[in-house]
């Protein structure tokens, strides 16, 4: 027998949802902004929720920036959000290494951009790699042998516009040949919206290359893995049933909320359309959906 799964209802009783939780977790791209453009009504919505005493936390899978760099982005967009309220997958990678007491005398090899390097620096880890390795080319000659550092105890892979074959080979050598070397992915998003003209290959494409070469699966620290959820729930001392996760993607945000036992609200201001939500092929249903977060505001009298 086949189970027919009802599609998520449109959010009607806004006050009931707001009153039922103490924390709103907001995904960033597609919810707060689109690229560098603030989404309509966001400042007013965040102000309203804060005035009702709600805690606001921001969670992004985009590892190209650090918490501090995201703080600047919020500020540029006219939003006052503290660094400690921002959980980017770059930060999650460093926080994960801290949580397992990754040895300070071991090194981290990074395939990714500046955000990961900045967070590893702040956490006091030894690291190398990053965008600079994108200039390295492998010139094949007979007997060529790539050396690698045996002290690398973790390879962190995130979205990387400077990705190349050198990085794949280097990371692969570390993972395959250094005993116990960790393989950590910031996120596995298949595609991302770097420009509004088309979909671009996401962080999952760089991670996938290393999966192919190592035949290993990474430990994912970004959404939908529960690492960040557990981390922030613990950090703020909040119970997960008191959280509403708001996001625009089913396979990262909504699954993240559901994996964490939170309430979930899908917004249609990003990548997911109503057709995608209601497609028989979709098995991930949020508790509610709505157009955009400003729908949480009281309706203004005409
Ligand atoms: N990764 C990259 C490289 C991105 O550019 C984006 C969105 O712009 C994301 C991930 C997804 O970010 P978020 O989790 O905030 O939607
Ligand atoms: Ca998003």
Probe target for ligand 1 pocket from 31, 62, 228, 269, with the most ligand atoms within 8 Å of CB: 62
Closest CA to 67 of 32, 118, 107: 118
**Over residues 256-271, mean pLDDT:** 97
In ligand 1, the atom with minimum distance to the C-alpha of 247 is 16
CA angle (212, 213, 219) in 5-degree steps: 70
Give the global pTM: 0.95
Question: Rounded distance, CA 50 to CA 212, Å?
Answer: 45
In ligand 1, the atom with minimum distance to the C-alpha of 159 is 3
Q: Which residues pair with 264 in a beta bridge?
A: 245
> Could you tell me the sign of the dihedral formed by the alpha carbons of 20, 23, 25, 26, in that order?
positive
| pLDDT higher than threshold 50 for residue 213 | yes
What is the whole-number distance in angstroms between the Cα of residue 235 and the centre of ligand 1? 23
**Over residues 98-112, mean pLDDT:** 98
**Over residues 5-20, mean pLDDT:** 93
What is the whole-number distance in angstroms between the Cα of residue 146 and the centre of ligand 1? 33
What number is the ipTM of this complex? 0.98
What is the whole-number distance in angstroms between the Cα of residue 178 and the centre of ligand 2? 35
In ligand 1, the atom with minimum distance to the C-alpha of 194 is 5
Question: Rounded distance, CA 171 to CA 133, Å?
Answer: 11
What is the whole-number distance in angstroms between the Cα of residue 170 and the centre of ligand 1? 25
Residues of the chain with pLDDT > 70: what percent? 97
Question: 302 falls in which pLDDT band (50, 70, 90)?
Answer: low
Fill in the DSSP letter of residue 29.
B
Q: Tell me if residue 96 falls in helix, strand or coil.
A: helix
Q: How much is the pLDDT for 185?
A: 98
Ligand nearest to the CA of 206: 1
Question: Rounded distance, CA 90 to CA 111, Å?
Answer: 12
E strands in the chain: 23-27, 33-34, 37-38, 55-60, 86-88, 107-111, 126-129, 152-157, 182-185, 191-195, 198-201, 219-220, 243-247, 263-267, 288-290
Q: What are the tens digits of pLDDT across the range 62-82?
A: 999 999 999 999 999 999 999
**First CA to last CA distance, the chain:** 50
Residues within 6 Å of ligand 1 by CB: 27-30, 60-62, 64, 159, 187, 189, 192-194, 202-203
| pLDDT higher than threshold 90 for residue 267 | yes
Question: 299 falls in which pLDDT band (50, 70, 90)?
Answer: confident
Active-site residues: which are they?
Answer: 22
| pLDDT higher than threshold 80 for residue 4 | no
Fill in the DSSP letter of residue 162.
T
Q: How much is the pLDDT for 1?
A: 45
Sequence-separated (6 or more) residues with CB below 8 Å from residue 239: 233
Q: What are the tens digits of pLDDT across the range 126-183?
A: 999 999 999 999 999 999 999 999 999 999 999 999 999 999 999 999 999 999 999 9
């Amino acid at each position: 027998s086949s189970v027919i799964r009802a599609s998520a209802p449109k959010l009607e009783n806004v006050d009931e949802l707001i009153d039922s939780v103490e924390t709103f977790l907001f995904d960033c791209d597609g919810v707060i902004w689109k690229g560098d453009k603030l989404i309509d009504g966001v400042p007013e919505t965040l102000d309203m929720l804060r005035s009702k005493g709600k805690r606001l936390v921001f969670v992004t899978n985009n590892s190209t920036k650090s918490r501090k760099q995201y703080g600047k982005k919020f500020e540029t967009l006219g939003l006052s959000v503290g660094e400690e309220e921002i959980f980017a997958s770059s930060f999650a990678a460093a926080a994960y290494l801290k949580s397992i007491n990754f040895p300070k005398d071991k090194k981290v090899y990074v395939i990714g951009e500046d955000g990961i390097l900045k967070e590893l620096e702040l956490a006091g880890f030894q690291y190398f790699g990053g965008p600079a390795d994108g200039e390295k080319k492998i010139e094949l000659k007979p007997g060529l042998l790539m050396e690698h550092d045996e002290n690398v105890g973790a390879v962190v892979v995130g979205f990387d516009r400077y990705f190349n074959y050198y990085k794949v080979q280097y990371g692969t050598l570390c993972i395959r040949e250094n005993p116990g070397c960790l393989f950590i992915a910031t996120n596995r998003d298949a595609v991302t919206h770097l420009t509004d003209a088309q979909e671009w290959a996401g962080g999952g494409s760089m991670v996938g290359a290393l999966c192919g070469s190592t035949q290993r699966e990474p430990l994912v620290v970004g959404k939908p893995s529960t690492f960040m959820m557990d981390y922030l729930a613990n950090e703020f001392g909040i119970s997960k049933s008191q959280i509403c996760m708001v996001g625009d993607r089913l396979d990262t945000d909504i699954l993240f909320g559901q994996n964490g036992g939170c309430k979930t609200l899908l917004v249609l201001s990003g990548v997911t359309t109503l057709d995608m939500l209601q497609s028989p092929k979709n098995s991930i249903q949020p508790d509610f959906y709505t157009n955009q977060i400003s729908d949480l505001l009281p309706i203004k009298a005409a």
